[in-house]
């Protein structure tokens, strides 16, 4: 489909996940067919204060396109200034975060705190759209406590927002309870701009059901992609041909984990990579046999060479055990 003049080849989107969706992980997900990518959210306040680390969050490689840079903040003027800074990187989209429920973001008046004030949402949308010629999208929750997302999206459409992503939980729900997909359908009926659905999409079948039940244009996946970039290929193939691709084997997950570690080292250097990867390793190994003790021992290591060696040894041990088991079964 075409989204604000940009070609989106596959109707599945990688959500912006703070601490997770860095350039390395985004490029891995791109290999598995994700159609649109968003960066981790970046603080508008930090950008206007010239914080290099925050600007680095917004950087991306050409192979990640189409890509949007997500910003959060509480003041229209600051958000507009940050959008101008980010526009120099020439992303395909700039996304405004009205949905993050994290306490540190909400305390600063950003993210889902803005769902309490539709006028502020409209003012921020106007300011960011006016600040740059790059298409602007927005990600919203259902509301703070009450559901206000339909009116919020109508106001954003009126000021020139090119698309909206809906996570149909209130701020108070956090990530608990069930996402109310009916709200995505309500927004889709109320606006003419593209609508991206988000929330509780854990399988290819979930993605198909969300598209069918809500009429949304694209499906966004976040938490289900942790340690599981294969989910994007599964969604793409299921939507295209109805083919259900089986989940990766534990051997495939281990191999990807090692590859991810090595890519992190090349991108960030050994010292940063070894700490960045701990959360990823936990998800790649999740559910495997004899993982708990191995993971505890692995995370005591601060030397990336030892971490890699341990993973390779664990991979070999697992392959050996699998071969023995298969031999026994064949007798």
Catalytic residues: 100
How many Cα atoms occupy the beta-carbon half-sphere of 214 within 13 Å? 31
Cα 26 to Cα 4, 61, 64, 129, 222: the distances in Å are: 21, 10, 7, 26, 11
73/79 Cα distance (integer angstroms): 6
- Who's near 300: CB < 8 A, 6+ residues apart? none
111/101 Cα distance (integer angstroms): 6
Of the candidates 263, 270, 327, 279, the one whose C-alpha atom is nearest the C-alpha of residue 304 is 270
- Who's near 276: CB < 8 A, 6+ residues apart? 22, 264, 268
135/29 Cα distance (integer angstroms): 23
280/260 Cα distance (integer angstroms): 9
216/219 Cα distance (integer angstroms): 7
Residue 92 has phi, psi (to 5 degrees) of: -75, -30
Question: Can you tell me whether residue 50 is helix, strand or coil?
Answer: coil
Question: Can you tell me whether residue 182 is helix, strand or coil?
Answer: helix
2-3 and 6-7 beta bridge pairing? antiparallel
Residue 214 has phi, psi (to 5 degrees) of: -110, -20
Does an H or E element contain 254, and which? helix 250-268
Does an H or E element contain 217, and which? none
CB contact at 8 A, 14 and 38 = yes
């Amino acid at each position: 489909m075409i989204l604000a003049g940009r070609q989106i080849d596959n109707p599945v989107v990688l959500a912006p996940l703070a601490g997770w969706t860095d350039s390395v992980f985004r490029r891995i997900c791109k290999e598995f067919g994700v159609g649109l990518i968003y960066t981790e959210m970046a603080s508008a306040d930090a950008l206007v204060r010239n914080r290099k680390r925050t600007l680095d969050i917004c950087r991306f490689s050409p192979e990640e396109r189409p890509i949007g840079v997500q910003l959060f903040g509480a003041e229209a003027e600051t958000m507009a200034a940050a959008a101008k800074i980010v526009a120099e990187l020439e992303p395909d989209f700039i996304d405004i975060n009205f949905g993050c429920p994290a306490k540190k973001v909400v305390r600063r008046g950003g993210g889902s705190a803005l769902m309490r004030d539709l006028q502020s949402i409209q003012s921020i949308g106007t300011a960011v759209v006016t600040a740059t010629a790059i298409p602007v999208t927005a990600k919203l929750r259902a509301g703070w406590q009450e559901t206000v997302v339909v009116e919020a999206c109508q106001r954003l459409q009126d000021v020139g927002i090119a698309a909206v992503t809906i996570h149909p939980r209130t701020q108070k729900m956090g990530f608990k309870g069930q996402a109310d997909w009916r709200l995505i359908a309500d927004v889709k009926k109320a606006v003419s701009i593209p609508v991206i659905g988000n929330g509780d999409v854990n399988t290819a079948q979930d993605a198909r059901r969300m598209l069918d039940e809500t009429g949304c244009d694209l499906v966004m996946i976040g938490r289900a992609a942790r340690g599981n970039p294969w989910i994007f290929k599964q969604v793409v193939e299921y939507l295209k041909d109805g083919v259900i691709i089986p989940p990766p084997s534990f051997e495939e997950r281990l191999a990807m984990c090692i590859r991810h570690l090595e890519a992190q080292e090349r991108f960030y250097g050994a010292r940063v990579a070894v700490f960045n990867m701990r959360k990823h390793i936990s998800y790649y190994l999740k559910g495997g046999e004899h993982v708990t003790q191995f993971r505890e021992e692995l995370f005591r290591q601060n030397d990336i060479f030892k971490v890699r060696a341990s993973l390779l040894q664990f991979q070999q041990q697992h392959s050996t055990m699998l071969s023995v088991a298969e031999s026994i079964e064949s007798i």
